Amino acid sequence: MDNPAIVLDGYLDDQTLPDGPSGITTAFQLVVSPTDNRIDELVMPCQITDQALAHSVLHELGASDLLRVTGHLRLPQVPGDGLRLHVTAIAMLESGCDLASVATEEDLAGEALSDAGVIERYGAYQVWHDPDTGRSSAWHSTGQWVGETDPASLGPAINAHEITSSPRPDHE
């Protein structure tokens, strides 16, 4: 492949499938959220032909695991053909929650976990919702402190941090 390698960080979607009767090729979806805006979210179809990587995706990795995926983008060549990332390497960055212990989608909601608190990711931000205080604490993925606020004011707090921490162009 002549095109350069692409590296994406994202969450493994809930379904991985052997892509063919041999089971050597595997298809899965990677959910990539580079910012806290849903409009920027991308679901990237991925395909693996390496037998060891295919086995890993099918049997060792789980839905919601945070992965770093390296591969080559395969653009559609004919109408009806799909865009895919041909994966050549996978690294697990963070293990996701055990979905086998979740009975319904409502069990994943913040209200169901409020007794223990909730950690959520908003693009490049991680937020801790403290059930004891009812407050939310936010950090950028670089470790930079954003602040503490009530959950309703979380969006404006993150937006304010984006404005104050982004580099300012010199216009003189």
Rounded to the nearest angstrom, the gap between the alpha carbon of residue 98 and the centroid of all alpha carbons in its chain is 16
- Domain range list for the chain: 6-97, 110-165
The number of beta carbons lying within 10 Å of the beta carbon of residue 129 is 19
Domain 6-97, CATH among 3.30.460.10, 1.10.10.10, 3.30.470.10, 2.40.50.140: 2.40.50.140
Contact at 8 Å (CB) between 113 and 120? no
At 117, list the tokens: 């608190």
Identify the pLDDT of residue 172. 44
Identify the pLDDT of residue 55. 82
Tally of residues, the chain: 172
Contact at 8 Å (CB) between 58 and 16? yes
From first to last of its 172 residues, the chain has per-residue pLDDT tens of 467 789 999 888 866 777 666 656 888 888 888 776 777 788 889 999 888 888 888 888 877 788 999 999 988 888 887 888 999 999 988 876 554 554 544 444 443 334 556 777 777 777 877 777 788 888 877 778 888 888 888 888 888 888 887 655 554 4
Identify the pLDDT of residue 153. 84
Q: What b-and-e string marks burial along 10-45, b requiring 16 or more CB atoms within 10 Å of the CB?
A: bbbbeebeebeeeeebbbbbbbebeebeeeeeeebe
- Kindly calculate the radius of gyration of the chain based on its CA atoms and give it in whole angstroms: 19
